[in-house]
Amino acid sequence: MNKSVLTIIVPCYNEEEVLPETVKELGNILTNLIEKDKIDSKSKLLFVNDGSNDQTWNLISDYTKRYNYITGIKFSRNYGHQNALLAGMNLAVNFSDMMITIDADLQDDVNAIPKMVEKYYEGYDVVYGVRNSRKTDTFFKRRTALAFYGLMKKLGVNLVPDSADYRLLSKRATEGLLAFKERNLFLRGMVPLVGYRATKVYYARKERFAGKSKYPLSKMLHFALDGITSFSIAPIHLILYLGLITVAISAICMIYVIIEKCLGHVVSGWSSLMISIWLLGGIQLISISVIGEYIGKIFSEVKHRPRYTIEIETYTNKMNKQS
């Protein structure tokens, strides 16, 4: 069996509390795979510092000097989790045969990595890490997650339920993903569009080892909205249907008013008038907001600004030295 080069890509944003343990656990996995001749000795851990304002980059920089298999990227500012993943893949694809992306918080079980590598050698280009339960989630998060996956399925978006950004991609699958040029990234929906043979590896999700979650409710809602508007125009169709229903109801009300006037039943309708004004005003504002979301995406896409700016990068230098 020819040994392939693996790069494990880890986006980091203010992870100074958890990073030492992350380096320890991922380092053990990587070195064990190398020692067992499962992967090439050129395999690396690539930490992408997404504009952290704590000691995250200082720790990464120190680890790159202490361990030959650790490399890093430092963004000039915070560009977001999805861009951090993409930056890691953009660099690693030039030197790697397969790439695994995993968050730094250790909630995703690192022991699934060897299983992913085995699936890669079995001929799979995409291996999704899928959690086998949601026991660690709150009731609210479980219900909203199920609702989100159900909604995306109805909208025709092919997502893998209970999988996040913990996955393995082969070199050609990564190249296919990088061919997508949109700036509004929703990798969970983009990866299935690449195609190729795919499978799943199941694992138990853990509690966060240390630090705070980088995805509070507001960010989760924004992320879900991005996913919906990046892959479907169904909300615009919904506005059309809402408008047609409103017109139909208005026509019925108009007929009712005319009949009542002909029968001489004229009653003061201040309350109903105010309710109608507020209802229609609310519908109009929601409709404008939905359309504005799509226009905003067009605005950001047509400018073709860089997705991110790299201030410091050690990955290429280390790979070139070993070539």
Q: What pLDDT score does 125 carry?
A: 93
Give the 3-state secondary structure of residue 121. Answer: helix
Confirm if 287 and 280 have CB atoms less than 8 A apart.
no
Q: What pLDDT score does 323 carry?
A: 61
- For residue range 272-320, list pLDDT tens digits in order: 665 566 667 667 767 777 777 777 767 666 667 777 788 888 887 777 7
Q: DSSP alpha helices (H): ranges in the chain?
A: 19-35, 56-66, 81-92, 113-121, 139-154, 171-178, 187-194, 217-231, 234-262, 270-302, 315-322
Q: What is the DSSP letter of 125?
A: S
Q: Which residues in the chain come in under a pLDDT of 70?
A: 1, 133-157, 207-237, 239-240, 243, 247, 250-251, 253-254, 256-258, 260-261, 263-279, 281-282, 285, 297, 299-303, 323
Q: Which phi and psi angles does 193 have, rounded to 5°?
A: -70, -20
207-210, long-range: CB < 8 A, 24+ apart: 207/107, 207/136, 208/18, 208/105, 208/106, 208/107, 209/18, 209/21, 209/22, 209/105, 209/106, 209/107, 210/17, 210/18, 210/21, 210/105
> Within 13 A of 94's CA, how many CA atoms are on the CB side?
11
Which residues does 36 contact at the CB level (< 8 Å), separation at least 6? none
Confirm if 20 and 55 have CB atoms less than 8 A apart.
no
pTM > 0.85:
no
Closest-CA residue to 181 (of 79, 300, 91, 88): 300
Q: What pLDDT score does 262 carry?
A: 72
3-state secondary structure 21-69: HHHHHHHHHHHHHHHCCCECCCCEEEEEECCCCCCHHHHHHHHHHHCCC
224: left (phi over 0), alpha (psi -120 to 50) or beta: alpha
Q: What pLDDT score does 224 carry?
A: 61
Confirm if 69 and 319 have CB atoms less than 8 A apart.
no
22-25, long-range: CB < 8 A, 24+ apart: 22/104, 22/105, 22/106, 22/209, 23/63, 23/67, 23/70, 25/106, 25/110
- For residue range 34-57, list pLDDT tens digits in order: 989 898 989 999 999 998 988 999
